[in-house]
A and B are shown apart, each in its own frame.
Chain A
Amino acid sequence: MANEVCFRNMDLDQPWLLEQYKSRGGYEVLTKILTEKMTQDEVIELVKESGLRGRGGAGFPAGLKWSFINRNSEASRYVVCNSDEGEPGTFKDRDILRYNPHQLIEGMIICGFAIDAAAGYNYIRGEFWEPYLRFEAALEEARAAGLLGEDILGSGFNYDVHVHLGAGAYVCGEESALLESIEGKKGQPRFKPPFPAHYGLYGGPTVINNTETLSSVPVLLKNGGDWFKGLGVENSAGTKLFAVSGAVKNPGVFEVPMGIPFSELLELAGGMKDGKKLKAVIPGGCSAPVIPADEIMELNMDYDSIAKAGSMLGSGAVVVIDDSVCMVKLLERMSYFYHEESCGQCTPCREGTGWLYRIVSRIERGEGRQEDLDLLTSVGKNIAGRTVCALGDAAVMPVNGMLKHFRDEFQYHIDNKKCLADS
């Protein structure tokens, strides 16, 4: 029951080659859509039915997003694939780009067809040099095979996909900052509304989806929405790529059905490394609040269950933390990340993330004061929900999660000026 969607070709020798991809029925769906003259609405309807939700972190239903696009707009429409996976702990899109680039290309073409787009852009994280080269090679293959460019497969549909390599800013994973970056401007999020579906790239209606989301499209269209739904659980259809890292024996990316119990996922990753005890798990990338061991072992990995536990599934980056880790040190590192990556546009995030980092760092160094824990909460409250984009919230959530579940460690740091974990 694993490797059904994005990783379905992993067993092949060189799955990134067009010929190999085609051997597994690749581009069949696209050919069917274009030659059998499926209407755009039909495609969108199919995606909607499948219950595919955005895999980038927010989990917004993909079909619904596509249906917002006004196909009669005066401005050109665009498809943008967000492969800027900057979330610490996430490395799933990298493997799609490396091992299954054609499925992503097919997904982008289908999406482009569905919204009658002028072009597609894949925004690849700056550090992904090797995946970038492989994706470019795949694009060349597809162009040569007439799958991209003018008059695709004789259908009269003109469409091409271009790659934009990022320059290493976390904030460019935010959709509107990503658009600004493609446009050649400084990567700073735009104020929303208007949302990209109305005013996106170069002012045109734009669909922005995660790499995993777009890669799932060809398979779910091929096998039907019900098949896709059947893979997962209620409200979380399909399979999901989980990037498991941290204190496990076999860290890596695992494609498993939605709703798999965490304990099984941990099993897949080989269990805890060096026989250490599980302390906590960050279930959805660094921005998701931490969940302590006893809670997570009871949970299933789907959107609703994780949300119920006060965290989020996010991008599916599962960071496993063992009991030798000092949570204060961990939070200091994470807060430093947000402090470093804040774009500096809006006040609460620009000033607040640095402040959060300094307070946590102070506590870590043993210079914390009693009122610092409340100060952290208060500063967090002043950032969350008041920023242009979600980076501010993302910086606050781990702080709140840590304080909720591991307040005693922080208190110990303040009182004893050393780590609870070491003692």
Chain B
Amino acid sequence: MTEDSMVTIEVDGQELKAKAGAMLIDVADQAGIDIPRFCYHNKLSVSANCRMCLIEVEKVPKPIPACATSVMDGMKVYTKSPMALAAQKGTMEFLLINHPLDCPVCDQGGECELQDQSLAYGSDVARFVEKKRLVPKKYIGPLVETNFNRCIHCTRCVRFSAEIAGMREMGSTGRGEYMKIGTYVERTIDSELSGNLIDICPVGSLTSKPYRYQARAWELTQSDSVAPHDAVGSNIHIHVRNNRVMRVHPKANEAVNECWISDRDRFSYEGLYSEDRLTSPMIKENGRWVETDWETALQQVADGLKEMGAGTGALLSPSATVEELYLAQKLVRSLGSDNIDFRVRQSDFRGGEPALPWLGLGIDEIEAVDAVLVIGANPRKDQPILGHRLRKAALNGASVCYLNPLEYDLNYHAEQLLSAPANMADDLAAVAKAVGATGAIIDDAEVKAQHQSVAEQLKQAGSALVLLGNLASAHPDYSILSALAAEVAKASGAKIGFIGEAANSTGARLVAAMPTDGLNAQSMLEQPCKGYLLLGLEPDRDFWNPTQAQTAFKQAEFVVALTAYRSASLEAAADVLLPMAGFAETSGTYVNGDGTWQSFAGAVQPMGEARPAWKILRVMGNLLDADGFDQNSSQDVLEQARNSADGRQLDNSVTADLGQERRLNGSGLTRIGDVPIYATDALVRRAPALQKTADAISAAIRINPGEAAKAGLADGDRATVIQEGNLATMPVEIDPGVAGGSVRVCAALAGSETLGGQFGEVTLEKA
């Protein structure tokens, strides 16, 4: 910053230095000078319509809005002069004349910007004696409750929808006093970021539906935490009352989530209070489940594990904390087993994976890249905040290209190469060839105009990024795809990045929750182990191949599951269920996609007899007489985990062989088993409000019109999917966004658990 671009202004007699062109309200905010406002929000465009921030500037005859006035050298500003105060009080009176006096029943009461400001700028006697405006309530979806009587027409929600959510879902209709905020023709708000409308609304016009009338702001205690659903690790505030999580709010962190969080992070807490929470240890006695005490259960586990010894396989959830994963791997290794893995949705373990894959750059750096190639991922739904950063990059002028077997509904311009799962490698090889890479597959690739254009964009960009995501890592030819991506990145000078699938995918590798020479997640199920330790996983939903997983667990001699929920599949698979603390009930640490360690404390006591998993694992270690299980707190565990992670560097270099055999050959129909946004983990799957949204799709055969015609299927038919002899019958939906030669049958949904792997050959039969 050079001296010239700085100006000196005076605000209320206080001399301030500011960047030329900065808005007055920002400069005042930084100096701690409070200017009231409603419509201004520093992440949204300026609209200057609420007229609350009117202030006096020397030599300007009228009060002017601080939010739309840029600073000029020598400017003298008075925010509390009689002229400014008169203007602010006048505006406040206008805002209140049509605002109902329903603060007692309003959920915003106690944390309402209008309430606060009216205390300072309002009058105690109303001069307006006429009837107030009545606006009917609108249904805009299961997450956001509306009461437009309270609306002050600041249009923050309208600007948020257009600028941040990128969906233009809200708008204002009508003129003057009859202006109304609403969705276009009674539609619902379907953005994955819609919950932020609740925070952004300065009054109680848009409030949280699940939280409706549950508590008042002053009853809540706030604790900081980290969202457990994706590789972003959004910072959140958990609001607690009477030892119950009442709601989740974002905690601003510019480097991670700015001031937004996804709906999944915001509303998943409801899953904590699902009816099938496991609240006491249970053991299976003669095929019947009985509740028991911790001592009995743990003793049985210790005996069981001792017997299994080196035959134990540990399958750990990538959503588990660093502490849990560290202790779990330590426990299993002390049994003499190296069968530990968290990559439950991966199927290609042929090696050559990067030692410690990560995003390749900071989350906040994404918006500054000039070109992005996204392979096998839909960040908008898989990691919504990451998707938002990508959108920002695109709006900044970056060219974004996608290579996927599904065409996604994106809220910015991007080139989407649609490619059947079996052809993804060919298309990627063509791009690689076009950027000038050489090697097996690449040399044989046929470069078309679309590949050329992607290649040009990558090559011309000042900073380019190649990203691989959830679908890529679940792909049977993941190693080939990642090797090709690495070639593309190398030849085009781009960075390569891997979007971890869950909240702690990066952390799990840092604490070595994966085998060095033992069995990996895939082989543990293919060559069943004698016994299994499951941490936070559900056999029917959380595995690449749920049928294989369920079969493996069923034949095992002893299965112990640490879980927050009891589900039919767990009860069928396990011998002992140990209730572990869920989200917000335990302290822990997540390492997010860009390698940031973020620790958090528990916000509420675990429900019933549930205990934090790290404590359960530690006691199990003690019972097994293993060394190094004498930690007194999760901080102790974290310290040891950190020490163990020392020397492990984030490393994206791929060594996989390009010339490997391709597992998907593209004959017949290939299943695309992506995991929908609200099916990613046990907590989300049990959050009722989220399950009512449009994004919470149910199992169906989604197929493009061409393939449907070939198979003789029409929209609304029921058909049976046959995958490796496994059957599932579900309705057919015609979706032109599915690549030819493939059929989208989502994983992790009810009805999909009887099928095989997320990708694989299937046949369809009309039911």
Chain A residues in the interface with B (C-beta under 8 A): 169, 171, 186, 191, 339-355, 358, 375, 378, 381-383, 385-388
**Most chain A CB neighbours (cut-off 10 Å) among B46, B87, B91, B94:** B94
The interface residues of chain A, by DSSP majority, are classed as helix
A-B contacts, CB under 8 A, total: 95
Chain B neighbourhood of A378, CB < 8 A: 127
For this complex, 24 residue pairs linking A to B, each with C-beta atoms less than 8 Å apart, are A169-B175, A191-B46, A191-B47, A339-B176, A340-B175, A341-B175, A344-B172, A344-B177, A347-B91, A347-B94, A347-B152, A348-B51, A351-B98, A354-B176, A381-B90, A382-B86, A382-B91, A385-B61, A385-B62, A385-B63, A386-B62, A386-B87, A386-B90, A386-B91
Q: Is the CB of A386 within 8 A of B54?
A: yes
Q: Is the CB of B51 within 8 A of A344?
A: no
User: B86, B97, B172: which contacts A355 (Cβ < 8 A)?
Assistant: B97
Chain B residues in the interface with A (C-beta under 8 A): 46-52, 54, 61-63, 65, 68, 86-87, 90-91, 93-95, 97-98, 127-128, 130, 152-153, 171-172, 174-179
Q: Is the CB of A191 within 8 A of B95?
A: no
For the complex, give the distance between the alpha carbons of A341 and B175 in Å: 7
Additional A-B contact list (13), CB under 8 Å, known A350-B94, A353-B176:
A191-B48, A344-B174, A344-B175, A345-B179, A347-B52, A347-B153, A348-B51, A353-B177, A354-B177, A355-B130, A358-B130, A382-B90, A388-B51
**Most chain A CB neighbours (cut-off 10 Å) among B90, B127, B174, B175:** B175
By beta carbon, the residue of chain A nearest B61 is A385
User: A347, A354, A355, A386: which contacts B63 (Cβ < 8 A)?
Assistant: A386
Chain B neighbourhood of A381, CB < 8 A: 90
For the complex, give the distance between the alpha carbons of A171 and B179 in Å: 14
Q: Is the CB of A351 within 8 A of B47?
A: no
Q: A191-B46, A191-B48, A388-B48 are in contact. Are A341 and B176 (CB under 8 A)?
A: yes
Q: Is the CB of B93 within 8 A of A344?
A: no
User: B46, B68, B179: which contacts A350 (Cβ < 8 A)?
Assistant: B179
**Most chain B CB neighbours (cut-off 10 Å) among A169, A375, A388:** A388
Q: A191-B48, A191-B68 are in contact. Are A347 and B95 (CB under 8 A)?
A: yes
For the complex, give the distance between the alpha carbons of A387 and B63 in Å: 10
B152 to chain A minimum Cβ distance, whole angstroms, is 7
For the complex, give the distance between the alpha carbons of A388 and B50 in Å: 10
Q: A340-B176, A347-B152 are in contact. Are A375 and B51 (CB under 8 A)?
A: no
Chain A neighbourhood of B50, CB < 8 A: 346-347
By beta carbon, the residue of chain A nearest B89 is A382
Q: Is the CB of B95 within 8 A of A342?
A: no
Q: Is the CB of B51 within 8 A of A343?
A: no
B153 to chain A minimum Cβ distance, whole angstroms, is 7
A377 to chain B minimum Cβ distance, whole angstroms, is 12
Q: Is the CB of A345 within 8 A of B177?
A: no
Chain A neighbourhood of B95, CB < 8 A: 347, 351
For the complex, give the distance between the alpha carbons of A350 and B130 in Å: 15
Q: A345-B49, A358-B130 are in contact. Are A350 and B63 (CB under 8 A)?
A: no
Q: Is the CB of A344 within 8 A of B179?
A: yes
**Most chain B CB neighbours (cut-off 10 Å) among A339, A345, A355, A385:** A345
7 A-B pairs with least C-beta separation: A344-B179, A382-B90, A342-B176, A351-B94, A385-B62, A191-B48, A346-B49
User: A186, A350, A388: which contacts B176 (Cβ < 8 A)?
Assistant: A350
Q: A348-B90, A355-B97 are in contact. Are A386 and B51 (CB under 8 A)?
A: yes
For the complex, give the distance between the alpha carbons of A364 and B46 in Å: 40
Q: Is the CB of B177 within 8 A of A351?
A: yes
A245 to chain B minimum Cβ distance, whole angstroms, is 25
Chain B neighbourhood of A353, CB < 8 A: 176-177
Q: Is the CB of B177 within 8 A of A350?
A: yes
Q: A191-B68, A381-B90 are in contact. Are A347 and B177 (CB under 8 A)?
A: no
For the complex, give the distance between the alpha carbons of A171 and B177 in Å: 14
Q: A347-B91, A348-B51, A355-B97 are in contact. Are A342 and B175 (CB under 8 A)?
A: yes
For the complex, give the distance between the alpha carbons of A113 and B107 in Å: 59
Chain A neighbourhood of B68, CB < 8 A: 191
User: A343, A348, A358, A382: which contacts B175 (Cβ < 8 A)?
Assistant: A343
B413 to chain A minimum Cβ distance, whole angstroms, is 19
By beta carbon, the residue of chain A nearest B178 is A344
B260 to chain A minimum Cβ distance, whole angstroms, is 25
Chain A neighbourhood of B97, CB < 8 A: 351, 355
Chain B neighbourhood of A344, CB < 8 A: 153, 172, 174-179
